Amino acid sequence: MKTRLIAAVAATAIATIAVAKENPTVGGAPMMADMTIAENASAAPNLTTLVAAVKQAGLAETLMGDGPFTVFAPTNDAFGMISEASLNKLMEEGNKKQLQQILTCHVVATEAFSTDINKMISDDGGMHVVPTVGGCQLEAYMEGGMLKLKDENGRVATVTTADVDQSNGVVHVIDRVLLPVGQAG
């Protein structure tokens, strides 16, 4: 009887650990840790605007590369906060460099899970500067138990889904598009 109880407790613990290690879904779509950032984003129904922008900017191959990358991925609703006219203009071929800069301001050239970011925030006294591939300086901080990012224009994004493991890095889904200094949305 005691052996069965120990086996049952061990099986429950193993099952709990297996569930805890599963990747979160994004927009209801399962995210596979053995797929790239670009491949997983393409499967998420709430990241279609981001995927279209990444393709338009010519960055899809980069996000399929080795990395490691940390991507703060704005949802369709986040892009919806930008006026339709501004978003359409940004997606024009002649604005490719501007689109690339905006998108790369959401990318960090290392893999940083939320525990890593939280430690950096704590080590830096409550706020950590995050330099991005696009040259932006984001400020990471915690507020109300939520990880927040502030761009150089004062726009604040909240991480709504953290730690989506990818074969070439990690994605944190955010609720606002972050912009380089001097750009409005």
- Tell me how far apart the alpha carbons of residues 126 and 147 are, in angstroms, rounded to a whole number: 11
- Tell me how far apart the alpha carbons of residues 69 and 153 are, in angstroms, rounded to a whole number: 24
> For 12-65, what is each residue's pLDDT tens digit?
333 333 334 589 999 999 999 999 999 999 999 999 999 999 999 999 999 999
How many of the other CB atoms lie within 10 Å of CB of 77? 12
Do the domain assignments include residue 164?
yes
Mean predicted confidence (pLDDT) in 71-80: 97
22 close to 30: Cβ distance less than 8 angstroms: no
Do the domain assignments include residue 58?
yes
- Tell me how far apart the alpha carbons of residues 44 and 24 are, in angstroms, rounded to a whole number: 12
41 close to 50: Cβ distance less than 8 angstroms: yes
Question: Mean pLDDT of all residues in the chain?
Answer: 88
Domain count, the chain: 1
Residue 151: which residues within 8 A CB-CB, separation 6 or more?
Answer: 105, 136, 138, 157, 178, 179, 180, 181
Q: What pLDDT score does 57 carry?
A: 96
Q: What pLDDT score does 21 carry?
A: 58
Do the domain assignments include residue 166?
yes
Please provide the DSSP assignment of 2-53 as one string: HHHHHHHHHHHHHHHHHHHTSPPPBTTB---TTS-HHHHHHH-GGGHHHHHH
Give pTM, 2 decimals.
0.86
Do the domain assignments include residue 155?
yes
Do the domain assignments include residue 183?
no
Provide the token pair at 130. Answer: 């995050």
Do the domain assignments include residue 182?
no
pLDDT classification of 185: cutoffs 50, 70, 90? low
CATH number at residue 98: 2.30.180.10
Phi/psi class of residue 135: alpha, beta or left (left: φ > 0; alpha: ψ in -120 to 50)?
left
Do the domain assignments include residue 94?
yes
Do the domain assignments include residue 161?
yes
Domain that holds residue 88: 2-174
